[in-house]
């Protein structure tokens, strides 16, 4: 069993897509371990996306991610990290495969509805960014 961090980004929350996005993951064998709705400050968004700090889209991305509430969750399943990445689809919704969350709901390369950890190392950093040991331990 593996765990990964998923975010429903502001465009997903504002368009009432929380239920549809979670259903998509649940219907594909992933289990919700922990879940919360939060709004990041600009500083928190910058810290979360620190690996992208040299990228040209960092400023816009962190403005966007702090522009409204998001939903953070930890999903669990076999190969959860790769499975979530597959179900999300490519970063740019226009390039994403049919039936993926970003193809179905993404608006553009920035407002692409979901985030999912891209590796075990990312998941190990991103899960504790949002969830305490207590929230993760008492989920079963
Ligand atoms: N992003 C963007 N412009 C780009 C590439 C990425 O606004 O040219 C945003 C987009 O919201 C993306 C996030 O930055 O999901 C992180 O980028 P990454 O390359 O890690 O894509 P992901 O892993 O989310 O598919
Ligand atoms: Mg990424």
Beta strands in the chain (DSSP E): 2-8, 31-38, 70-77, 114-116
Estimate to the nearest angstrom the gap between the alpha carbon of 32 and the chain centroid.
13
- What is the per-residue pLDDT across 23-78, written as a single tens digit (0 to 9) for each? 999 999 999 999 999 999 999 999 999 999 999 999 999 999 999 999 999 999 99
β-bridge mates for residue 21, sequence order: none
3-state secondary structure of 91: coil
Q: Which of 61, 92, 116, 121 to mutate to test the pocket of ligand 1 (most atoms within 8 A of CB)?
A: 61
Question: In this prediction, what percent of the chain has a pLDDT beyond 70?
Answer: 98
pTM of the model: 0.97
CATH of domain 2-130: 3.30.70.141
From 105, 110, 126, give the residue whose CB has the most ligand 1 atoms within 8 Å, as the site to mutate.
110
Question: Given CA atoms 46, 127, 77, 73 in this order, what sign does their dihedral have?
Answer: negative
* Digit-coded pLDDT (tens) for 95-107: 999 999 999 999 9
């Amino acid at each position: 069993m593996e765990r990964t961090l998923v975010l429903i980004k502001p465009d997903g929350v504002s368009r009432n897509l929380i239920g549809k996005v979670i259903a998509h993951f649940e219907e594909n064998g992933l289990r919700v371990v922990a879940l919360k709705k939060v709004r990041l400050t600009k500083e928190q968004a910058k810290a979360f996306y620190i690996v992208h700090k040299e990228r040209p889209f960092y400023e816009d991305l962190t403005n966007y991610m702090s522009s409204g509430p998001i939903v953070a969750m930890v999903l669990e399943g076999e190969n959860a990290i790769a499975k979530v990445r597959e179900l999300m689809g490519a970063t740019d919704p226009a390039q994403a495969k049919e039936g993926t969350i970003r193809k179905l709901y993404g608006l553009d390369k920035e407002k692409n509805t979901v985030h999912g950890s891209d590796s075990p190392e990312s998941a190990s950093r991103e899960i504790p960014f949002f969830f305490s040991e207590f929230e993760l331990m008492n989920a079963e």
